[in-house]
A and B are shown apart, each in its own frame.
Chain A
Amino acid sequence: GQNIDQPTEMTATEGAIVQINCTYQTSGFNGLFWYQQHAGEAPTFLSYNVLDGLEEKGRFSSFLSRSKGYSYLLLKELQMKDSASYLCAVRVYGGATNKLIFGTGTLLAVQP
């Protein structure tokens, strides 16, 4: 089966750093994505990892360990606008299809 776990909710303070963890058990791993989703809106792409290690993109970084089935998203210098749901998604390849398997999302609340 395909399973992706991430915390349901997190709270952090403006200006701080927060780490959102994601563990996965999937078949046919073909990359891990992080998306940000504000309420009622479409997911927007944040980062992509296919090899082990850290990918940095401005205030956002994402880490992947394929042997541990583990990833995290690191958000630095938190801003109020970062309050959103963060979705971890694993791309799996089966037959002729690349599809995304999503976790349930982590709702991050940034407080002043």
Chain B
Amino acid sequence: ETGVTQSPTHLIKTRGQQVTLRCSSQSGHNTVSWYQQALGQGPQFIFQYYREEENGRGNFPPRFSGLQFPNYSSELNVNALELDDSALYLCASSPGQGENTEAFFGQGTRLTVV
């Protein structure tokens, strides 16, 4: 068991709506990364938070935004949902930025946009 928990596990939203996904990182982990995994594809990096600051972003539009809180939990917000946003959203936490830090994944949130 990795200790990374995400909520909710499943979610259905309508196109144009907004959604907030949540992630509790593993104890002692100060770095959280978010990934989007479309069906049949590998996860794609959205962004990363380190000590409450965004410190890296993938090729996703600004309507994808996030937060990290003092306890290192994190939120992913997506505005103006599109059908193509339907995917498994994965949160991964790691204990820092060092070379030998492994990322532990949560179970994911399956988002369906209709």
Give the interface SS of chain A, mostly helix, strand, loop or mixed: strand
Residue pair A97, B42 in contact (C-beta under 8 Å): no
Number of interface residues of B (CB under 8 A): 31
Residue pair B105, A95 in contact (C-beta under 8 Å): no
Give chain B interface residues in 29-50, CB to chain A under 8 Å.
31, 33, 35, 40-45, 48, 50
Residue of A nearest to B9 (CB): A40
- Counting chain A residues whose Cβ lies within 8 A of the other chain, the interface size class is 20 to 34
Give chain A interface residues in 18-36, CB to chain B under 8 Å.
30-31, 33, 35
Q: What 0/1 readout, one digit per residue, does chain A (65-107) give for beta carbons within 8 Å of chain B?
A: 0000000000000000000000101000011111111111100
The chain B residues found within 8 Å of chain A, CB to CB, are 2, 31, 33, 35, 40-45, 48, 50, 55-56, 58, 88, 90, 92, 94, 97, 99-108, 110
A33-B103, A43-B43 given; 10 more Cβ-contact pairs under 8 Å:
A40-B110, A41-B108, A42-B107, A45-B102, A96-B55, A99-B45, A99-B56, A100-B92, A104-B42, A105-B41
The chain A residues found within 8 Å of chain B, CB to CB, are 4, 30-31, 33, 35, 40-45, 48, 50, 87, 89, 94-105
